[in-house]
Structure 1
Amino acid sequence: MKTLLLTALMFCTLQNIKAQNLKKMESNQQSRAAITEVLEQHYFKGIYEGDVNSLSKIYYSGTLLFGDVKGQPYAKTLEQYLDGVANRQSPKDSGKPFKGEIIDIRVINSIAVAEVKVKMYDFNYHELLSFHQIDGKWLIVNKMISDIAQ
């Protein structure tokens, strides 16, 4: 009798663990899909078109940007970055090639990191974008960039 009860308990526990893992996988897939949409429909498009309004919707207001561009240190607040985007010719208007590519997205609960590449003007940026899910929306909370040789 004890063996039967222990077996039943173990079976129920295993089923519960499988259900939790399946829920977590589904949640991660949904989060990855949501972040992919943010990147493709707002981030890449906003950079390409120079659309500051679209970009400001996907960044947390306190976002900081760090890295290096052509070997020089790069550090900006979100306000400085958006001002630069607003006051430059957009890649779309320049007629030069532009490409945004998602390399990887890793999600852990309400945080995520997206690794992307952005080719624009004469730059090849390799970027790490930190996301946090705030009020149900995935927002960029930190941006790290490095201009790499092709």
Structure 2
Amino acid sequence: MKTRLLTAFLSLAFLVAKAQNPKKMNTHQQDSTAITQALEEYYFKGLYNGDISTLRKILYPGTLLFGDIKGQPYAKTLEQYLDGVAHRQTPKDSGKPFKGTILSIEVINSIAFAKVNIKMYDFNYYDLLSFHKIDNRWVIVNKMLTDVTE
């Protein structure tokens, strides 16, 4: 009986060790780090400064945006969204607090999603951002957003 238990334990330990491939986990950590850097350098800074050229570095052409703002449906193409960003007062110039926070990132092969919170103007946005790794670069391919009252 002890031999069977020991054999089963060693077999299970081998399977667990094999399932937790350190190289694969490292890759996911590197991808999460790359997404974090892209969000901080391009997404948050682009939003704060109202800089559409910076936002274009992380938003893939053809990205669609959906959600609701103050309970009203929101649906825009990337170009409609960037036009709005270009023609509004920037959060930087508004004098109101701005804060972008990454709440979570999940990577699965060449796709990922990030949940972020953005406080700007008088809004408290939650964005769910879908990413795809294209040409070895993580880009947002879909944005879903909503605002909540605190």
Show the counterpart of 1:50.
50
Residue 74 (str. 1) matches residue 74 (str. 2): yes
Show the counterpart of 2:135.
135
Q: CA deviation at 1:18?
A: 3.5
The CA distance in 2 between the partners of 1:48 and 1:57, in whole Å, is 15
Show the counterpart of 2:115.
115
Letter of the 1:98 counterpart: F
Q: Is there any run of 5+ residues in structure 2 with no aligned partner, and where?
A: 1-9
The CA distance in 2 between the partners of 1:133 and 1:20, in whole Å, is 22
The CA distance in 2 between the partners of 1:94 and 1:110, in whole Å, is 37
* Aligned-residue RMSD, C-alpha: 1.8
The CA distance in 1 between the partners of 2:74 and 2:119, in whole Å, is 17
For 1:106-132, what per-residue CA distance to the aligned partner results, in whole angstroms no more than 9, with x for missing partners?
000000000000000011001100000
Show the counterpart of 1:95.
95
Helix, strand or coil: the match of 1:66?
Answer: strand
Show the counterpart of 1:124.
124
Q: Is there any run of 5+ residues in structure 1 with no aligned partner, and where?
A: 1-9
* TM superposition score normalised by structure 2: 0.88
Q: CA deviation at 1:20?
A: 6.9
For 1:21-59, what per-residue CA distance to the aligned partner results, in whole angstroms no more than 9, with x for missing partners?
111100000000000001111100100000100001111
* TM superposition score normalised by structure 1: 0.88
The CA distance in 2 between the partners of 1:91 and 1:118, in whole Å, is 11
Letter of the 2:138 counterpart: W
Among the aligned pairs, what percent are the same residue? 67
The CA distance in 2 between the partners of 1:20 and 1:128, in whole Å, is 28
Letter of the 2:90 counterpart: S
For 1:35-90, what per-residue CA distance to the aligned partner results, in whole angstroms no more than 9, with x for missing partners?
00011111001000001000011111010000000010000000000000000110
